[in-house]
Structure 1
Amino acid sequence: MTRCRPSDQWTGVLVTGSANGGWLTRARRHSRWLLLALPAAVLLAVGLAVVPDQPSDDRGVSAARLTALFDRYGDTSGRWNGADRTASVTLPDGRTLWLFSDTFLGPIQPDGSRPRTAPLINNSAVVQQGDELRETVHGGSAADPASLVPPPAADQFYWIADATVAGQSLQVLVNRYRRTGSGPLDHALLGTALATFALPALTPTGLRPLPLGSGISWGSELLHDGGHTYVYGTETVGQSRFAHVARVDGGDLAGPWEFWTGSNWSPSEEASTRLLSGVGTAYGVQRVAGRYVLVTQESNVVFSPDLVAYTANSPTGPFEGPDYLYRAPENAEGHIVYDADLHPDLARPGRLLISYNVNDLDDAVTYADAGVYRPRFVEVAWPRRRPDPADLPPPPAGLTAVADGAGHARLTWRAPRADDELRYQVHRRDVTAGQTHFVRLGEPVTGTGLSADFLVNGHEYEFRLTAVSGRGESRPSAVATMTAQVPPPPPPVGVRAVAGVAGDVALHWDPVPFVQLFRVQQRNLTTGQQDRTLVGTHTGTTATIRSLRHAQTYEFTVIAVGGGGDSQPSAPVRATAYVTPPPAPTGVTATPQPDGTIALTWNTLGPGVSYRVYRRDVTAGETRLIRPSLDTRAEHTAGQLAHDHEYEFAVTAVNSGGEGPKSAPVRARARYTPPGTAPTRLRAEPGRGSVELTWRSANPSRWYQVYRRDLTAEERQFTAEEIAVRGERATINGLRNGHEYEFAVAAVNQAGPGPLSEPVRVTPELPTPTALTATAMGSGEVRLSWRSAGPGLFYRVYLRDTTAGEAWRPDPYPVPGTSHTAVLLTRGHRYEFRVVAADGTDESRPTDPVAVVVR
């Protein structure tokens, strides 16, 4: 499956260009097509309604041209080599933006294969300008790419829905999924979000979860019509898929939504009703000649190669059909097709321009041929020409359907006439599953009997027939109804387990009749695990289990899931996982940065790999590479480097099998550029022989040098403090109280200091005692008391006999507390007292004097 935090803040976009303008990598990671779900039926052949390719004109582009465009870009761009979903939106400047979900990046190999190390992201975009694809847009970096819309959590991811332009913004609906296991079907829808990008640069500006539930994946299609934007969605229930529709006023998807209830519109998503069954996770809706045509890959039958159309007089239906438009030939080659969509802005007149995606159940195929996993385009004439009813054969009669108890429906009928050229087309509808339309089963047959299979136990089915001649297809016969009786399938046999070299085990088993879905269980024998755990749900008869621990032994069993339920587990098989240490990383680059760091990048080796960066200081004569901690991304910033020193770096890759060899070494010289801006808003708060400085800067975590000069001592030059400080605050001690100082601050690094800030002046001083009182005690004594000026201080008492005209004189003894008794004073004389705080070096300003007459 794939990887994917609700957040409005996310990484930037990487846009990479191409001069030429040429999935299931792991069964557990790439599974958009498997949102198709799983009853199953025999596939049929239909006549093609394809328009032959003609040169494109200024009114559209041909399907063949678009298919070739993506093939060439995938082969030659070196950036994008395959993806699925294929939504398009025309930008205001005339460019076309193609949006994709699971995307392979990087160049392909000369033989046309895709390297196993090809980066895979969950969503991306490609920009078309004129007749050429020019740019690939994604997050992260070229060496270590990330999804355009980043995952909200480690076990979650976003898949692209549809997009529109609103004002100067691109709005993209994205659906959020959570991984529930390692198999291609093991994911669960969590909700829908709206990603926005500023135009024209496609800069991400927001990612907002919408107030929607997890039952419908919204954005299968957007249709602007009649002052509204209609938002189509897909509901998956068991093995069936149903279309829904909502709408917003105008073209802004951030506005309030309302949902079609079957008769009117409601603001409640819970009131949304189903329009029809059989749609894909992506489909197209377009207005043509006053009617609405919905084009989808036929999902009423699993893995159907058929593209079909339904029509209605309103965007909300009811829809009639299906009309069979096209059978994708890739199905006959063993591939699967899915996610049909319409591109009306690019279509030529009188045609529907349809894209669809191709994949393979065996991921080895998508690696061996990179061209498999790319969009295809086809054109279909529309509206369709209908045959004259008078030329059509009459419908068959007497159709009966009987359950045989072994999982089949036995159909019989009577021929409408004796005509050896007539053939008969079977149509089926699963009533219990809620299918709204009949679907063709297989190819037309001769004779008057047929056994239909791939049924679900207890489901009620309706069958009908049409007669097919060279002139066309008759009206349908009367409906025959039956309830299926399907026993559980037998357990798979012939299970084999083959260990790979990357912590993977490939499982193979023999086919089980009428079963296309299997569940794989495992338990770790090395750790003593007792209970089996489900590790994946798979289609076909192969599965690759990954992320196993090196040298640990695992036991596997397989369960077949059929129309009658689950089989018993298969006989267990065992395998011991092996992980080969990864090769040396390639493409290592080292780029000096202005802040003295060196930025390292290299080519990613894919998921499950970490990296270790080694370095040595060549200038300092180091001979041994120092090994730091692991990095999880293909990038590293080397810091704490010495200015103008040359460093050598090498990189290794590490997985559970160990550490691989070192890369080719690269060298770079660390150079710091002195800071270019001065700190601002310098403030100084005086203290006792100290000053508390604060300031502001663009980089509060950098280092700063404080400068000072003593203006009272008539110092002319600033002197730098001995030790630089980090952050935006510094305390300067050892100052003279009462002296006026001037301070300035500069950012500093190994290349030296930057410009000085605006200076600030301040005078440190001791605090002054307060609340001084004096009380005459008699016998020539006066009692003094005051409030403390702070810890660590003592006090000096000053006095004078104003009656005798004395000057101020200090009491000879310092006072450690906050009270003092003056003695041997002259009775009847008036005295004044004041107190200062002292620290052994300086004294504070004195208190206001207090007077008292001695008794």
Structure 2
Amino acid sequence: MSCGSTRCGCGSTTPTRACGSPRGCPATPPSTTGRPRRVWPTSTGFRSVGSTTQPSAACGPPDEGEVRPMTHVASADGFTAMFAAKQDQDWSGGDQATSVSAGGHVYWLFGDSMLSAGETAAGAYPAGTVMVSNRILRQHGGDQLVNAVAGGGVGVPDPATHTPQNQERYWPQAGFTLGGKLYVLAQRVLAKPVGDGFTWAGVEMFRYGIGADGQLTLEAVVATPSTGVTGRRGVPASVQWAGEAVVDGGFVYVFGHVEADGNPYVVHYTYLARVPTGQVEVPSAWRFWAASTGQWVTQVSQWNTDPANQRDAIVSSQVSSAKVLGGRWVLLHKPWNGFGSTVYAETATAPTGPYTRTALFESPAGTWRGREYVTYCPQLHPEQQLASGKTLGSVAWNGKALADTMADADLYKPRFVEVVLP
């Protein structure tokens, strides 16, 4: 859940775990007969703000395998309803909602995830609901969601150093395919020893084999340049390389973030790295874009070190989704995450920019069915084919406090929107 108003699966100015952790609950929730499933329109909480250009019907991220459009669900409302109906021991809620097309399958990556046996008559999570570190779901038959991992369980296992006290775990945030394998970049996080909140504790890459039936088998854990690096506010060299990953032109381009320090207008900065596809498992092969000089450098220590105005970043916000559509790079971000209102698109003809910012839609915090919520971590899902011809987008919802999330089992689930990209 990684909760409250501050996580993007993605990041925060002042990370807090407003939702707490029900890890101590029984592993098997009691049988519960819930109310009839409620379906809400995805237009709730969204307002289009000025996109004008229709995307190409053939748009899609570069992918080694064939991208097979999902046609059973063909609207944003349909996708919102599909996730609303998922209320079981595989998954009952979570944030992030990155989608990855791989080998003819579509996988959905989630951070802290709720597991429950339905919901109470009042619509709350029942006693015995459990939160796990993450989940990877597979979209099956176009309109069903199943656990993607062979044998069930979490998508990315907790580190060996995990304890109930440090709550060390991984949040899968980005994925790509190479050589018939699925690679997932996962953010390692640690609970702060005092008070609420978490600390960025590095990034590892997980390689999965893809079975003929779409089931994933973990094959290897691979180090990245962020492995062992603790995120530090205002220190560009502490960049966490888990924001997004795109395969294009013989390289894997990876987006990472750093928190700003001393800048009242900027909370995060996004940086860009790349690694040749044939050396994706070699950390020393990564190169890092220095925007101030227009050059790729071999070490992040070569970047400008100004904590407030990080001149080697490509975007002054935390990018949570990146795609190549119709020959253009399209990045999504929501400044201030849960505290902000507007989702922006950044577009450019090259991954290094320069980028043009356009307001895409509004997704402010609010009150829904009497419960306060926040929104964050916008995503694009171009592999999904909509009847409208538009591009599917989503944004994570979460309760502002643990009580809000637990009182309504429909709250902690993504909402979808149809967008026309600039």
Structure 2 alignment gaps of length 5 or more: 16-44, 53-68, 231-237, 304-311
Equivalent in 277, 287, 303 of residue 258 of structure 1: 287
Name the TM-score, length of structure 2 as normaliser: 0.72
Q: Secondary structure at the match of 2:96?
A: coil
Matched, 1:306 2:342: yes
Matched, 1:159 2:171: yes
| Alpha-carbon shift at residue 203 of structure 1 (Å) | 1.4
Name 2:66's counterpart in structure 1: none
Provide the rounded CA distance (Å) in 2 between the counterparts of 1:267 and 1:347: 40
Name 2:354's counterpart in structure 1: 318
Matched, 1:211 2:187: no
Equivalent in 91, 101, 107 of residue 102 of structure 2: 91
Check the 8 A contact 1:306/1:327 in 2, yes or no: yes
Name 1:79's counterpart in structure 2: 90
Q: Which has the larger radius of gyration?
A: 1
1:236-264 per-residue CA deviation (whole Å, 9 max, x = no partner) reads 13472011111122376314211111212
Q: Secondary structure at the match of 2:79?
A: helix
Name 2:400's counterpart in structure 1: 361
Q: Secondary structure at the match of 1:69?
A: helix
Q: Secondary structure at the match of 1:80?
A: coil
Name 1:291's counterpart in structure 2: 328
Provide the rounded CA distance (Å) in 1 between the counterparts of 2:295 and 2:74: 38
Provide the rounded CA distance (Å) in 1 between the counterparts of 2:46 and 2:177: 39
Check the 8 A contact 1:217/1:233 in 2, yes or no: yes
Give the residue type in structure 1 aligned to 2:353. Answer: G
Q: Secondary structure at the match of 1:65?
A: helix
Matched, 1:199 2:210: yes
Provide the rounded CA distance (Å) in 1 between the counterparts of 2:202 and 2:401: 30
Check the 8 A contact 1:121/1:147 in 2, yes or no: no
Query: Structure 1 pair 310/91, CA: closer, same or farther in 2 (3 Å)?
Result: closer
Check the 8 A contact 1:166/1:252 in 2, yes or no: no
Provide the rounded CA distance (Å) in 2 between the counterparts of 1:108 and 1:329: 28
Name 1:241's counterpart in structure 2: 268
Matches within 5 A, 1:705-716: none
Matched, 1:377 2:416: yes
Check the 8 A contact 1:171/1:253 in 2, yes or no: no
Give the residue type in structure 1 aligned to 2:160. Answer: P
Query: Structure 1 pair 310/32, CA: closer, same or farther in 2 (3 Å)?
Result: closer
Provide the rounded CA distance (Å) in 2 between the counterparts of 1:117 and 1:147: 21
Name 1:69's counterpart in structure 2: 82
Check the 8 A contact 1:354/1:378 in 2, yes or no: yes
Query: Structure 1 pair 218/33, CA: closer, same or farther in 2 (3 Å)?
Result: closer
Equivalent in 254, 265, 286 of residue 231 of structure 1: 254
Structure 1 alignment gaps of length 5 or more: 3-22, 384-855
Name 2:11's counterpart in structure 1: 35
Q: Secondary structure at the match of 2:156?
A: coil
Provide the rounded CA distance (Å) in 2 between the counterparts of 1:205 and 1:157: 18
| Alpha-carbon shift at residue 91 of structure 1 (Å) | 2.2
Q: Secondary structure at the match of 1:85?
A: strand
Check the 8 A contact 2:347/2:356 in 1, yes or no: yes
Name 2:366's counterpart in structure 1: 331
| Alpha-carbon shift at residue 35 of structure 1 (Å) | 2.7
Matches within 5 A, 1:545-560: none
Check the 8 A contact 2:187/2:240 in 1, yes or no: yes
Check the 8 A contact 2:112/2:132 in 1, yes or no: yes
Question: Which stretches of structure 1, 4 residues or more, deviate above 4 A after TM superposition?
Answer: 30-34, 44-51, 56-60, 347-350
Give the residue type in structure 1 aligned to 2:415. Answer: R
Query: Structure 1 pair 97/252, CA: closer, same or farther in 2 (3 Å)?
Result: farther
Structure showing the higher strand proportion among its residues: 1
Name 2:243's counterpart in structure 1: 220
Provide the rounded CA distance (Å) in 2 between the counterparts of 1:91 and 1:35: 26
Give the residue type in structure 1 aligned to 2:115. Answer: L
Check the 8 A contact 2:222/2:281 in 1, yes or no: no
Check the 8 A contact 2:149/2:216 in 1, yes or no: no
| Alpha-carbon shift at residue 58 of structure 1 (Å) | 4.7
Name the TM-score, length of structure 1 as normaliser: 0.37
1:76-100 per-residue CA deviation (whole Å, 9 max, x = no partner) reads x4431001111111121x2211111
Give the residue type in structure 2 aligned to 1:37. Answer: T
Query: Structure 1 pair 50/266, CA: closer, same or farther in 2 (3 Å)?
Result: closer
Task: Kindly tell me the number of residue pairs found equivalent between the two proteins.
Answer: 340
Check the 8 A contact 2:169/2:190 in 1, yes or no: yes
Q: What's the RMSD between the two structures over aligned residues?
A: 3.2
Matches within 5 A, 1:9-28: 23=3
Provide the rounded CA distance (Å) in 2 between the counterparts of 1:236 and 1:340: 18
| Alpha-carbon shift at residue 343 of structure 1 (Å) | 1.6
Q: Secondary structure at the match of 1:67?
A: helix
Provide the rounded CA distance (Å) in 1 between the counterparts of 2:148 and 2:258: 30
If asked which structure has higher relative contact order (CA below 8 Å, sep 6+), I would say 2
| Alpha-carbon shift at residue 374 of structure 1 (Å) | 0.5
Provide the rounded CA distance (Å) in 1 between the counterparts of 2:247 and 2:223: 22
1:786-843 per-residue CA deviation (whole Å, 9 max, x = no partner) reads xxxxxxxxxxxxxxxxxxxxxxxxxxxxxxxxxxxxxxxxxxxxxxxxxxxxxxxxxx
Provide the rounded CA distance (Å) in 1 between the counterparts of 2:128 and 2:278: 41
Check the 8 A contact 1:245/1:316 in 2, yes or no: yes
| Alpha-carbon shift at residue 151 of structure 1 (Å) | 2.5
Name 2:382's counterpart in structure 1: 344
Equivalent in 270, 295, 315 of residue 301 of structure 2: 270
Provide the rounded CA distance (Å) in 2 between the counterparts of 1:64 and 1:128: 16
Name 1:148's counterpart in structure 2: 156
Give the residue type in structure 1 aligned to 2:383. Answer: D
Give the residue type in structure 2 aligned to 1:381. Answer: V
Provide the rounded CA distance (Å) in 2 between the counterparts of 1:278 and 1:264: 21
